[in-house]
């Protein structure tokens, strides 16, 4: 499935709520999003331990052409990947406050030429990252997840056309 990647985001914002019945389905949802987003996209991921944030990022990276193994950067704080766009994958789980987040270079990575993904973004004040997409993952059963995406309306419409909803 190769969709048209957006050149940029336009218009207002909308929300799309998805239900996943497995980690492979969550990964697929991430891949579809990755195939659509433009350079400069900042994604803020929220959700508890085991909610599927890293699984979603694995799919996102596949959609961006990353061939490397995608790992959770919990202990090293940052993983960098190369695909059709560079991907900077941050994990804020062990950090406390915006000063520590600035120290690891999150804001420096947001330069309009790559994709920045931040897990545990709810540890920051809302909007602090200037995020384009917020993905909240929630455990609703042993394998079931609820994904709520808040994103530019043109992305939401494209995802709906591609039967992601």
Nearest in space to 67 (alpha carbons), one of 53, 87, 40? 87
pTM summary value: 0.92
18-161: which CATH topology?
Rossmann fold (3.40.50)
* CB-based burial label for 65 (10 Å; 0-12, 13-18, 19+): middle
Q: Which residues of 111-143 are buried (b: 16+ CB within 10 A; e: fewer)?
A: eeebbbbbbbbbbbeeeebebbbbbbbeeeeee
Positions in the chain whose pLDDT score sits under 50: none
**How is residue 104 written in tokens?**
């690891």
**pLDDT of res. 165:** 57
**pLDDT of res. 148:** 97
Domain positions in the chain are: 18-161
**pLDDT of res. 11:** 80
**pLDDT of res. 3:** 63
**pLDDT of res. 86:** 96
């Amino acid at each position: 499935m190769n969709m048209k990647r957006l050149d940029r985001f336009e218009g207002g914002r909308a929300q799309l709520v998805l239900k996943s019945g497995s980690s492979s389905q969550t990964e697929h949802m991430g891949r579809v999003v990755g195939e659509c987003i433009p350079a400069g996209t900042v994604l803020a991921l929220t959700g508890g331990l085991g909610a599927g944030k890293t699984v979603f990022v694995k799919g996102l990276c596949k959609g961006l052409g990353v061939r490397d193994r995608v790992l959770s950067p919990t202990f090293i704080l940052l993983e960098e990947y190369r695909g059709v766009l560079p991907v900077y994958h941050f994990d804020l789980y062990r950090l406390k406050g915006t000063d520590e987040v600035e120290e690891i270079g999150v804001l420096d990575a947001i330069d309009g030429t790559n994709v920045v993904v931040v897990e545990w973004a709810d540890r920051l004040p809302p909007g602090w990252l200037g995020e384009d997409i917020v993905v909240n993952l929630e455990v609703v059963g042993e394998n079931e997840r609820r994904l709520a995406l808040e994103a530019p309306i043109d992305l939401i419409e494209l995802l709906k056309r591609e039967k992601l909803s």
